[in-house]
Structure 1
Amino acid sequence: MTEPTPRFLPRRIVSGGQTGVDRAGLEAAIAVGIEHGGWCPKGRLSEDGSIPSRYDLVETDSADYPVRTEQNVIDSDATLILYESRLKGGSLLTRRLASRWQKPLLCLKLEAAHPAELRAWIDQMRPATLNVAGPRESTSPGIQQRSLEFLLQALAPPTSP
């Protein structure tokens, strides 16, 4: 019996720490045992108050969300946007910034995506640092849990046949 081919895993996952997809990315990194981090607004600002200290994020000099969004795109090798319905707000900005900085980008509509799509993209792109972005919890209730489950499936080690 042959051993399954090891999957490529990013060395680090970063996000801005907002509720929703950002935190799902950080939680997925913690769960699979890889580094996590990224930039967050000054004061660790998020829609639910202060971003929990368990997330190893660095504050920008600005409380404006777009500042940390751009810095996370710049500091990453590739960006993943998970979304539902359509891209809007900060997710749309993230897509524009990835294009501006010529960074690889994958946008996946959660309800239509399969973890194998993300798995194949990661294996092809091989980003050492992956930026994970998408809607906040208040605009897409439940997206944090759905995104976390999706990311854990995509990042899970291969199973033996």
Structure 2
Amino acid sequence: MARYAFKVVSGGQTGVDRGALDAAMESGLSTGGWCPLGRLAEDGLIPDRYAVSEFDSERYEDRTEKNVIDSAATLVLSRQRLSGGTKYTCEMAERHDRPCLVIDPSAPDSIAETRDWLNHTRPVTLNVAGPRESKDPGIQEVARTWLTRLFSEKT
């Protein structure tokens, strides 16, 4: 059973996006979000098991901004310096006055720090973002495992 009742959204890209959706589904949380027109991702089409809706643009930046706008808060998981779309996500959160936490999932107190932040912000919808798999190989599974722990009632 999940510790939280919020909806988890992402853009459906490989890496953190899909790790977040997988963890949410495994934890019984609702999922969604916006993806580019055509369900585009770096590995081809986003699989149908991910309940993301097509935005009316093929540009990743457009769906990123829409996911930020439609969410109460954004959680960014990254083991490296922010760049590209991950950095853009944080910029959009700031532009649209949405709380944004950037956390390294390998940091020792990252779960506790994130739970404190979630308890403070109490989002109804949580946008989860971070690097794609090609930018940080292995991050999809790291994100899935870490977020499953975060969402779990037990830990």
TM-score, shorter chain, exceeding 0.5: yes
Q: CA deviation at 1:119?
A: 1.4
Deviation at 1:43, TM superposition (A): 0.3
Secondary structure of the structure 2 residue equivalent to 1:81: strand
Q: Deviations over 1:16-52 (max 9, x none)?
A: 0000000011111101101100000000000010000
Instruction: Supply the distance in 2 between the matched residues of 1:110 and 1:10 (Cα, whole angstroms).
Output: 21
Q: Secondary structure at the match of 1:107?
A: strand
SS of the residue corresponding to residue 19 of structure 2 reads helix
Give the distance between the partners of 1:107 and 1:97, measured in 2 at CA. Answer: 13
Aligned counterpart for 2:62 among listed residues 62, 67, 75: 67
Cα shift at 1:8: 5.5
CA contact (8 A) 1:119 1:155 kept: no
Aligned to 2:105: 110
Q: Give the deviation of 1:79 after TM superposition.
A: 0.1
SS in 1 for 2:48: coil
The residue number in structure 1 matching 2:90 is 95
Identity %: 50
Aligned letter for 2:94?
A: S
SS in 1 for 2:106: helix
What letter matches 1:92 in structure 2? K
The answer on 1:124 being equivalent to 2:112 is: no
The 8 Å contact of residues 8 and 122 in structure 1, kept in 2 or not, is answered as: no
- Whole-angstrom distance in 2 between the partners of 1:150 and 1:110: 7
Change (3 A) 1:140 1:154: same
TM-score after normalising by structure 1: 0.91
- Which residue is 2:7 aligned to? 12
TM-score w.r.t. the length of structure 2 is 0.94
- For these two proteins, the number of residue pairs brought into alignment is 154
- 1:138 paired residue number: 134
* RMSD, aligned CA: 1.5
Match of 2:38, SS state, is helix
Distance (Å, rounded) in 2 between the aligned partners of 1:131 and 1:96? 14
Q: Which amino acid aligns with 1:140?
A: D
